[in-house]
Amino acid sequence: MDEEARKRFAEAVKVLRGDRDREEFSKIVGVSRPTIIGWETCKNTPKRESLELIAQMRGETLDEFLSYLNGAKRRDPLERLLNQIAGLSHEQLAIVLRAIADRLGS
């Protein structure tokens, strides 16, 4: 992974971590706190398993995430969501709608 890809990966990790501390996020991702620090400072290159998990957390396939890391423009998240919704069953749509209602209620 070149320096630009590591920078993009670092930014993706920071966005996903949000306001959680590194310890909490490291438990979610299944790596150590120093690994998270290494990723965020562009000093460590993630293993494939970590790349797959981060891609999944971003709602992307590994191939899409790797393309992004290598400089491809990321698809609009709303467009991705709408495409995913189009393929859901009625039961799955009901679950999504309940989640949206819960989110709007809080």
Per-residue pLDDT, 82: 81
pTM above 0.75, yes or no: no
Judge if 45 and 93 occupy the same domain: no
- List pLDDT tens digits, range 12-52: 999 999 999 999 999 999 999 999 999 999 999 999 999 99
16 and 65 inside one domain: yes
Q: Say yes or no: 48 and 90 in one domain.
A: no
Q: Kindly report each contact of residues 44-47 with a partner whose C-beta sits within 8 Å and lies 24 or more positions away, as own/partner.
A: 45/1, 45/6, 46/1, 46/9
If phi over 0 gives left and psi between -120 and 50 gives alpha, with beta otherwise, what is residue 59? left
Give pLDDT, residue 70. Answer: 92
Residue 1 neighbours by CB distance under 10 Å = 16
Q: Are residues 52 and 103 in the same domain?
A: no
**What residue numbers bound the domain in which 85 lies?**
76-106
Same domain, 60 and 95: no
Question: What is the per-residue pLDDT for 74?
Answer: 66
**Mind listing the pLDDT tens digit for each residue in 47-90?**
999 999 999 998 888 998 999 999 887 667 787 788 788 888 89
